[in-house]
Amino acid sequence: MTSIETLSKPLQLPLTPEVLADINAHLSQLQPKQILEWAVEYLPNLYQTTAFGLTGLVALDMLSKSTSSPPPLIFIDTLYHFKETYDLVEEVKAKYQTPLHVYRPAGRNTVEDFETKYGQRSWERDEDTYDFVVKVEPAQRAYAELGVQAVITGRRASQGGDRALLKPLEVDSTGLLKLNPLFEWTFPIVEWYITENDVPCNRLLSQGYRSVGDWHSTVKVGEGQDERAGRWAGREKTECGLHKDYFTMQKQAMKASAVSVMKTIIVMHFIFDLPGTRSSSAVAG
């Protein structure tokens, strides 16, 4: 068994399964604020990824009170967030002054730019590819450009789905460390902290929403419904892609892209082979 006191600061990566298990055993005994303080001390090249949901805002507020140099923030702007979310980003920037890095789909800075390449409502045609393009690829680009080795997330076990068995610290398929400091908190505790500490939050939460993502995949929840019931309502989906296996998502996106290119080639070939087109006329001449 590894003694926590003997671990290097920052941790030397990669972690062995035994060391990871010992760290989780230690962190499981701590409160979220203590977990965050441990992370600042031990996790290398640490950033906080956030879509400015309640749990992430709690972590941000705790960090602002426990360190003079909190980890920088990474916000993945899908281009399809609610206006209220963008307003919240500005409010958080003004209150906390934490460095913020914003990443968007590659080469696309507006909805118009994005839809010129991918078409309108692309999430309806291939949701996995949409998730990869607007969330997964920008996140991986951020990690590479910023040298990120560890991130703080806002995931909690009480959110259910793939998150039900969360541990304080995880390692994903790329080797990235993911810290879940509030993994044991429930939604009411999160709400209590937000209220007690005057933490800014999304105005949509006072209008019947409980978890806010892209406008096209977020709806209000009914009385007694699960916190994330308003995300991808009516579908089995519970994660956007950021916390799925990266290499699987990448493979699916590449396959979809290849199929799209092939369809375009077939259509163009058909068009230029029609009687009366330049191609067919040239052959006839």
Q: Which residues are marked as active site?
A: 240
Contact 169, 150 (CB under 8 A): no
DSSP run (H or E) holding 170: strand 169-171
Q: Which two tokens stand for residue 63?
A: 């960090």
User: How many whole angstroms separate alpha carbon 3 and alpha carbon 5?
Assistant: 5
Residues 211/53, Cβ–Cβ less than 8 Å? yes
What is the Cα–Cα distance from 232 to 219, expressed in whole angstroms? 8
Distance CA 131, CA 180 (A): 22
Structure tokens at 155: 């995931």
Residues 6 or more apart whose Cβ sits within 8 Å of residue 131: 123, 240, 241, 249
Residue 91, amino acid: E
Beta bridge mates, 14: none
Q: Are 141 and 132 in contact (CB under 8 A)?
A: no
Tokens of 133: 């393009």
